[in-house]
Structure 1
Amino acid sequence: MARNISASGTEQFVEERLLNGLFTGPLLQHKELLNMLEDVDVRYPRQRTLLHVGVGLGKADWVQELLARGADTDITDDSQQNALSLAEEMVRQFPEDVERSKVLNLVTLAHRRDQVIMRRLEASSSRSTDHVTLVASPECDIAPLKSSVDSLRREMKSLVNQWSSSLEELKDQVCRRDALLRCLEESVTSTAEDLTAVKIALGGEASLSQPTSDPVVARQECVHAMMRKTRIVYGSGVDEMRRLYERLYDEDEFTACINKYLCGDDRMKVMVDLESVDIGRMKEKLVDLDGTQWNGSDWISFCDFESETVYLGAKDCSGDREEFVCSRLAWALSQLSLKLVFDNEGRPYSKGDVEREREWMRAIEELEERRKRGEGLEWWIVYALNGKTLNAKLCWLAAAVPEIIADDGSLRGRAYLQDDAPLLLSLYSNNVIVKLLASAKR
């Protein structure tokens, strides 16, 4: 039986980290946590299990591992969907997604296997109760049971062969991806070495600081770097600003990635007014990304693409107010990271990437359809859809993802996005985050 999330601090930590890992990390980095999990069918918001989330995201490696650990394909969530019906729905929504097709194949095989076992057990139980006699007849009792077992073995062997074929196909694709990643890594390493040589030749830095493998040190270095790019224009409160950056780094991998990328970019800067809740004193007039003119007093945070500067009003930044200001900071920093990393007027994909452009347009269309049907959407998603230009819509829609997570918290924010904007979450995770991490200098 599936259980509710444990009250134990250790178990809750394991369960939450696994859920985050499903969204952002490769399976190999989380197998140790899976070994610590007491119940693979632990329930999350909306009564979903890890298997539900893995199927919804199209993570074939995670789904395969969870099924191998006995994840129940029949458990239903609040919308009465089990893993199989959810996998079928995902294939209908994303018919060209190879990973989701593989997920459906894996879940179908596991579901069929479980159904076969249940039918055999029920048949065996029925024969045991229907053929009770006063005189034992071993030969008569054993013969049908033996036949049933042999039949079950033949069917299981067929299922195992199908499963093995699917696994081989998955392994083949993973090998191809690993080869591509190795080529990319070699290319990046070569480019870094060339840049180092150029710096030395020009009399620049004799050496580049190497990224550290210690997560605590990496966090400190990233926060220190962001603080060096930050100027407190009004007021005093270095500790308050440092706490905001630390909160973004700790909240979720999505918000942390923005800091990891921006802390190594020499172009950006952050201007802060710690004595006001708006940016009016620092920027009296501003023009938004879609050309709309505003008074600075109407904005808590703002990303100025032209000067590559983020402005923030952060008065009384503590308690609940800190969470609010942090989410607005995430919104502005996210826009700037999109402008710098893709160099495409704030759009969340590179110039000339027709396939990604088509996917983001589909995300806009799907969310517009939800709005027309009167379904509830987060305020920042609605704001993005109301943009007067395509650049504004795309940039603000992508920036809404980390803002929602910073505002609602990692678990609630991701749960909302997975349920109400799954394509948006998938595009941000698989395209934007990957690009930010690949381009980060730290």
Structure 2
Amino acid sequence: MAGAGDAVEILPVEEAVARDGVTEIEEGSRDSTDELRHYLSINFASLQGEINALHREITSRDILLRKLEESVTRLSEDIIPLKDYVTAKMQEEVHSDQARNGDQETEEEENNRAQNRCVDVMMSLTEIRENNEEKTQKVRGFYEKIYKASPFTSRMLTFLERNRGVKVIVDCDSSNISNLVRRLVSLDAAKTHGTEFHAFTDFFQCKVYLGGKAEKSKVYESNTGRYVYKIYDPEVSLAQSLAQMVMYLIFNNRGCPYACDDELYEKLYEKIVLETSQKKSSGTSVDQLINDALSMTSYFAREVSLISVVPGMLVKYGSKEGMSKLQEQMPFLMLFFMQHVIPKMGS
């Protein structure tokens, strides 16, 4: 894994520049690089360098090389559409409140039917502790909010609707899962108690545990003083836990968002996690969900947790604001989710 103290490697493109001036690679990518710098204040050169380094490592594998070259092209070309997508989603939010014609109303009715069917299936996969009608409606509201938050989160629930392999267990009377599971082993491989978790994804049992009681705030004492922790929204934690389960079902790699033998996307995701961690370490302000994911002790736990931040933020803030925050704070993670994870959900 690349680290901050690694030696800088002279890449083939740089050697060519020293010999011949401008290379064909630079000529072909200059326009997309200029556009990237215009829309995002992020240095793409380090990511390009990482992918080129990977290119050298796996030269003996022609198929993977072709995938790598295609990925480099897509990454450079698709950053700009990401901004366009956010703008389009904002406009869509505005227009959704305006009067609709007959065809649009029909489409809305079809969407509502699809939502109700999906939510019905998710409710059939859900067990509610000491259930009653009020709790049933509350949990149903969690799924409805996740479905409505974004096309990405609705796709996630639709995937689970089709697979039907997950079981969700909810305690609406508590904000933690201690009444559902007393002791467990965390993603950091630490033995701990259910009181430590608002939600937990048990990959091996295909179960998601959720404390369904919302919390406005929680006060903590530490050596540095007393502070108030974040507001707890059960539907946000549920979206993140379900996202982790989806990663597990799709990629079969302990919850990581890439297959075990996919060196290309493993290296690419590793680079994204590293850059996001460096942004946090540099003092750049990031959302609490990002901070929580990057505060995990092990690298494996950070990998599994960080990808679930994308649906978490879309549910927490809604499509418009959530997309804007993701574009600002984690543009490459958002692009990875759109370009690599979402297509897998539909395949």
The TM tier, using the shorter chain, reads 0.5 to 0.7
What is the letter of the counterpart of residue 342 of structure 2?
I
- CA-atom RMSD, angstroms? 3.3
1:224 equivalent in alignment to 2:153: no
Distance change >3 Å, CA 357–CA 84, structure 1 → 2? closer
- Count of aligned pairs between the two proteins: 253
Q: Secondary structure at the match of 1:272?
A: strand
Counterpart of 2:324 in structure 1 is 415
* 1:383 positional shift: 2.7
1:249-284 CA-to-partner distances (Å, cap 9, x unmatched) read 001122212211112223210111122222111111
The counterpart of 1:389, out of the listed 298, 306, 309, is: 298
1:80-109 CA-to-partner distances (Å, cap 9, x unmatched) read x99872379676465473246557999xxx
1:316-369 CA-to-partner distances (Å, cap 9, x unmatched) read 699xx9981110111111111111111111110112111000110100111122
What is the letter of the counterpart of residue 339 of structure 2?
N
1:85 equivalent in alignment to 2:69: no
Whole-angstrom distance in 1 between the partners of 2:152 and 2:249: 17
What is the letter of the counterpart of residue 431 of structure 1?
H
What is the letter of the counterpart of residue 223 of structure 1?
V
Whole-angstrom distance in 1 between the partners of 2:143 and 2:79: 40
The counterpart of 1:379, out of the listed 285, 288, 311, is: 288
Structure 2: runs of 5 or more not aligned: 1-30, 49-68, 82-108, 217-229
Counterpart of 2:136 in structure 1 is 238
Distance change >3 Å, CA 246–CA 317, structure 1 → 2? farther
Q: TM-score by structure 2 length?
A: 0.65
* 1:315 positional shift: 2.9
**Identical positions, percent:** 26
What is the letter of the counterpart of residue 172 of structure 2?
L
CA contact (8 A) 1:84 1:104 kept: no
* 1:235 positional shift: 3.6
Distance change >3 Å, CA 251–CA 322, structure 1 → 2? farther
Distance change >3 Å, CA 83–CA 312, structure 1 → 2? closer
The counterpart of 2:162, out of the listed 264, 269, 273, is: 264
Counterpart of 1:308 in structure 2 is 206
Whole-angstrom distance in 2 between the partners of 1:374 and 1:317: 28
Distance change >3 Å, CA 218–CA 290, structure 1 → 2? same
1:131-185 CA-to-partner distances (Å, cap 9, x unmatched) read xxxxxxxxxxxxxxxxxxxxxxxxxxxxxxxxxxxxxxxxxxxxxxxxxxxxxxx
Using the TM superposition, name which of 398-407 and 81-90 deviates more.
81-90
Q: TM-score by structure 1 length?
A: 0.52
CA contact (8 A) 1:338 1:348 kept: yes
Whole-angstrom distance in 1 between the partners of 2:274 and 2:47: 14
The counterpart of 1:255, out of the listed 142, 148, 153, is: 153
Whole-angstrom distance in 2 between the partners of 1:358 and 1:404: 24
The counterpart of 2:247, out of the listed 323, 326, 338, is: 338
Counterpart of 1:282 in structure 2 is 180
What is the letter of the counterpart of residue 271 of structure 1?
I
Counterpart of 1:430 in structure 2 is 339
1:403 equivalent in alignment to 2:299: no
Point out the structure with max Rg over C-alpha.
Answer: 1
What is the letter of the counterpart of residue 255 of structure 2?
G
Distance change >3 Å, CA 92–CA 244, structure 1 → 2? same
The counterpart of 1:98, out of the listed 43, 68, 73, is: 73
